[in-house]
Structure 1
């Protein structure tokens, strides 16, 4: 495929404002596309308006006042992205394809499409329904976010989903036809997480006995991610086995989970670290004995790839479709006693190393960014040819 000019739009990236899993996806995919010889311009939020080239990717950061609700903030971001896009387009030339991520940039993508006829691809990383478990009721912002998800799915030429489960969820909620849908998984730069560390020293630094096994949870402390299910499961595990639980992340459920642990009498065995820098998270991936992903809804599960990169076994709920039961991890039902059974199975040493190693092998074969970039370019190629033939 000849060199193409790609406009990538995301509210977060690794080298601007970071929020969650979209940031590594967008930056690392952009780098892989640039490595294939394509010109990638990433429009994203920043603390100031500036331009920078990082690992071959042109970053165009726009400021966005963090006042008002999330919808109001994204309205302002889209307005600023539109103005920046006009400036970049004038200097760099016409773009071949635009690629947005989640609902946040939908307004600017639709505006550019309407004014310049440029088609766009939209990657869904999750849905508002999945994030909230259909619990938002009359919350107008959630309904507006859902409306923009629908609008993006309707206006875009192609939709990329990261898993079969998310594809089905999107089809059920927004009735997007099959011909628009592509399934392309998330990825990781192999070796990003793996480090040679002294697990005992890391545990001692946090007041944990170096010989005690550690179960790691990392992610948003939110209903979707199920940290409360893990706390209840931990109470069951601790009746049979001495262990420690390390939970990294912030969110609306953190205070509830801390109270829950105290009420269950396991507060001394649960370590809530809150938001932690990358080096701390990487240390714990390498120092822990297993990783637990108790999600109620999981569109993909980048934590799975990170755990496999460190060759760690996983206990995951059946919302996580990447894990093959008893081969690359243990699959549990979305309830505490089932999660506890899975944790005990691995803590007792049954297949621990074998599962982590098989996950690492799969990671190298299927979830590296070069492979994912090649699949993404197939979507672009189809879109560019279709766009040309329409003239």
Structure 2
């Protein structure tokens, strides 16, 4: 395969501003594509304007003004990315394809397409419908974001989704035809999370008895991610056994969940750590006994891969498509009593180690970046060469 010059566009990455799951996806996919011999230029936000090569990827950061609403911020980001792209194109040469992630860079992708005829691929990591409790409401920004998701799906040559659930979601909401959609999962660098640590030391550092089992939640404290469902489930679990619940992450529901825990009388059994650095999160993945993913809507769930990398079982809601029930974890309904049942099942020790190991085996086989990069290159080739047919992973 000849070298492809790729323009990758994302509002976040591991080496700029980090928000959520898009950042590892974008950076690690870009690195895997570069390792295959392709030239990847990643346009993203930064604290200032600069250029840097990291792990073979050309980073082009644009200064971000975080005043105003998110739509205004992304308008300014897209303008800055457009002018930076012109500068890079002048020096590096013509690009073969562009690849955007979620709605944030849609305006700049459409602008470059209109001016230079460059095709672009768009990866949907989630939808505004899913992020906002499956309803739009009257908030004008939500409607504008939804419009840009539709526009990106319409103007892109092809669309990538990370799970079957997300594929059906965008087909239903935005009427994107099936022939245009590729299903390519998220990935992880195997060994990224696993550490040889003493779980007791980690627990003691947070005032937790080293012999008590710990349930870990890590993610945005938002309605979509269901932390409130976990707090209610925790109260049910604690009626049966002693345990601790560690919740890592920040967001609009954090104060509500803390109040909820106090009201239920389980405040002393719940540690709300807020935003935590990577080392803290990794320590807890290795120190916990299981990971809970109680999401109401979950387009993929990279936290599941992180749990499996640490060989931990997962108790997940049925919004999470990755978990195979009673093999790599336990699947529960999106309500507290069902989640509590799943937590109790694993805390009893029923298949705990076996499920974590099975998850790790699946991870190595299906979710490694080399395989995902190869499939992504198929998308690029099809778009560049206008191939008429493709198959999903």
TM-score by length of 1: 0.99
TM superposition shift of 1:357 = 0.1
> Root-mean-square deviation (CA), in Å?
0.6
Q: Distance in 1 between matches of 2:331 and 2:66?
A: 39
CA shift, 1:133, in A, is 1.4
Match of 2:291 in 1: 291
Aligned to 1:71: 71
Number of matched residues? Answer: 387
Q: Distance in 2 between matches of 1:9 and 1:127?
A: 17
Specify the alignment match of 1:254 in structure 2. 254
Report deviation, 1:64: 1.3
- State the SS of the aligned residue for 1:13: coil
Q: What is the Cα deviation at residue 323 of structure 1?
A: 0.3
Question: What is the SS of the residue equivalent to 1:151?
Answer: helix
**Could you tell me how far apart the structure 1 residues matched to 2:208 and 2:332 are?**
27
Corresponding residue number in structure 1 for 2:20: 20
d(CA) in 2 for partners of 1:75, 1:90:
23
Secondary structure of the corresponding residue to residue 319 of structure 2: coil
Partner of 1:88: 88
SS state of the match for residue 230, structure 1?
A: helix
Q: Tell me the equivalent position of 2:281.
A: 281
Cα distance in 2 between the residues matched to 1:386 and 1:162: 22
Deviations 1:17-47 (A, max 9, x none): 0000000000000000000000000000000
Q: Which runs of 5+ in 2 are unaligned?
A: 388-393
State the match for 1:59 in structure 2.
59
SS for the counterpart of 1:296 is coil
Distance (whole Å) between structure 2 residues aligned to residue 189 and residue 32 of structure 1: 10
Match of 1:43, SS? Answer: strand
Instruction: Find out whether 1:151 has 2:142 as its counterpart.
Output: no
Question: CA offsets per residue over residues 67-91 of structure 1, 9 Å max, x none?
Answer: 0000000000000000000000000
State the match for 2:390 in structure 1.
Answer: none
- Equivalence for 1:243: 243
Would you identify which runs of 4 or more consecutive aligned residues in structure 1 move more than 6 Å?
A: none
Cα shift at 1:136? 3.9
Residue 345 of structure 2 corresponds to: 345
TM-score by length of 2: 0.98
- 130-139 vs 323-332, which moves further: 130-139
Return the alpha-carbon distance in structure 1 between the equivalents of residues 121 and 33 of structure 2. 15
Aligned partner of 1:355 in structure 2 is: 355
Following superposition, the deviation at residue 286 of structure 1 comes to 0.1
**2:130 is aligned with 1:130:** yes
SS state at 2:42 partner: strand
Counterpart mapping for 1:203-352 below 5 A: 203-352=203-352
| Worse overlay, 133-142 or 248-257 | 133-142
SS at match of 1:160: strand
Alpha-carbon distance in 1 for matches of 2:132, 2:184:
24
Name the CA distance, whole Å, in 2 between partners of 1:30 and 1:321: 25
Unaligned runs of 5+ in 1: none
SS in 1 for 2:20: coil
Distance 1:53 1:4 in 2: 17
- Matched residues in 2 for 1:124 and 1:19: separation? 16
**Does the alignment pair 1:142 with 2:142?**
yes
Q: 2:200 maps to which residue?
A: 200
